[in-house]
Amino acid sequence: MLDTLLSVFSAKHKLYKNLKLKPFIDTRLVNSDSIAMTDVFPFHQIKDSLCMTGISPTNFVPGKNIVLNPHAKDNDSISYLGQDTQNHKPFYISTFAEELAEVFNPIFAEIIHLETPCLLDLSEIGGFSNSKSDLSQYRSIDDFVKNACPDYISDVSMENLDRMLLWPEIRLLNSPDTTTDQFFIYGWSPKIFVQNAGGSHHMAAAHYLAKKLSQCVPIQGKVSLNLISSKALQNFDSKYAAFAVPDDALIDMGNDLSESGLEYQLVFFREREVNFIFFKKNDQNARVISLFNNLHASLNGALKSAVQAQFKNEALLTVMSANLSDTSEDQFFSTRPHLAEIYNHVQNEICLSGPKPTSPTI
């Protein structure tokens, strides 16, 4: 018994000692500055990675990187840190995912679909979900159209603007009753995206030409919102500390961490080629959390920054206000307490310093 206790203490001391020697790794948990909807950091998708308990490590080959998690309760929930032999990526099967998911997942409510279509001006569009071109290369729609389809804007005239707007793949304008295209807003991104099936080049050209010609181009569509609950985030932050750990760093610390006797949770997040490690906030984990704060980017901190961006999101206020124009706030928010909380925060943050944004009229 004494040998076991000393072994755990020694392993924990070794972990702390090694962590002190590591440099800070600044994993960027931020949106990329582009017009691609996919470049918004997908915080909401982390919750989809919390359902790994009970998966068998079928692609694993036992070796030095495979570590038995000492906190596994039984053979069905044994956790392994290892290497996927097909993709050469580390993989982790977790043990307290369900407990963590109950606290983490409410941070991101289901995507909210607003019933009332929102009327915007084309100039308010900030990006697209799909294109034949690589949207990630471009920081603005002007940059996109000048490089990807310069011939579309060589003639700066009303006739050419009309020609671009009549392109059938701009479905929000030309087939509004049948299209599935819509506007999409992430609370932590200032951009209004068009979730489109096509027409990005022609819409971008029309966007550019309308601005050059000082023309308002009303465009109407349904809106979907992906938002963060600040109350749920506060609850999570009071119970857990989470950090972004790259593959190499995870493998490097694997044995030390697993043998330390500390309770932790790893999430394998391939959407951004990073892993997240979660610690419960308790006395036992206080020191390792302090060390990780000096080594790795904090997911808690990144989510808090995302909430602050959401509170200042004028595009978000614009589309929610449009949905309130035909109904009372009580009626609109009666089944949306999560949305009411966000709307009140955004309204207070923005409207105290200026008038409420309004949608264009035809």
Which tens digit of pLDDT belongs to each residue from 304-324?
999 999 988 988 888 877 766
Q: Is the same domain home to 196 and 168?
A: yes
DSSP 146: H
Please identify which residue in the block is written with the tokens 């044995």: 255
Q: CA-to-CA distance for 106 and 230, rounded, in angstroms?
A: 10
How many domains is the chain partitioned into structurally? 2
Q: CA-to-CA distance for 324 and 330, rounded, in angstroms?
A: 10
Nearest in space to 67 (alpha carbons), one of 100, 91, 98, 97: 91
Note the pLDDT of residue 185.
95
- The verdict on residue 200 lying in a domain is yes
* Tokens at 113, concatenated: 């679909």
Q: Is the same domain home to 222 and 234?
A: no
pTM for the whole structure: 0.80
Q: Is the same domain home to 214 and 254?
A: no
Q: CA-to-CA distance for 217 and 207, rounded, in angstroms?
A: 8
Q: CA-to-CA distance for 216 and 207, rounded, in angstroms?
A: 10
Residue 165 sits at the vertex; the CA angle it makes with 146 and 361, to the nearest 5 degrees, is: 110
Task: Identify which has the larger pLDDT, 134 or 75.
Answer: 134
Please identify which residue in the block is written with the tokens 């079928």: 58
Length of the chain: 362
For 133, phi then psi, to 5°, come to -90, 160
Q: Is the same domain home to 97 and 72?
A: yes
Please identify which residue in the block is written with the tokens 């068009």: 194
Q: Is the same domain home to 96 and 235?
A: yes
Q: Is the same domain home to 155 and 236?
A: no
Which of 299, 330, 348 terminates a domain? The answer is 299
Percent of the chain at pLDDT > 90 equals 49
Q: CA-to-CA distance for 303 and 29, rounded, in angstroms?
A: 9
Q: Is the same domain home to 73 and 125?
A: no
Q: CA-to-CA distance for 129 and 40, rounded, in angstroms?
A: 11
| Mean pLDDT across 85-108 | 67
Sign of CA dihedral 230, 220, 193, 223: positive
Q: Is the same domain home to 100 and 236?
A: yes
Note the pLDDT of residue 133.
98
Whether residue 357 has pLDDT greater than 50: no
Which of 193, 209, 226 terminates a domain? The answer is 226
- The verdict on residue 317 lying in a domain is no
- The verdict on residue 38 lying in a domain is yes
Q: Is the same domain home to 116 and 220?
A: yes
Q: Is the same domain home to 34 and 89?
A: yes
In what helix (H) or strand (E) does residue 236 lie, and over which residues does it extend? helix 230-239
Nearest in space to 319 (alpha carbons), one of 33, 173, 115, 108: 115
Mean pLDDT of the chain, nearest integer:
80
- The confidence band for 51, taking pLDDT boundaries of 50, 70 and 90, is low
Domain that holds residue 202: 112-226
Whether residue 95 has pLDDT greater than 90: no
- The verdict on residue 92 lying in a domain is yes
Q: Is the same domain home to 94 and 192?
A: no
Q: Is the same domain home to 148 and 93?
A: no
Nearest in space to 172 (alpha carbons), one of 138, 139, 202, 133: 202
* Tokens at 318, concatenated: 């614009």
Q: Tell me how far CA of residue 247 lies from CA of 57, 85, 316, 351, in angstroms.
A: 18, 14, 35, 44
One-letter amino acid of 224: S
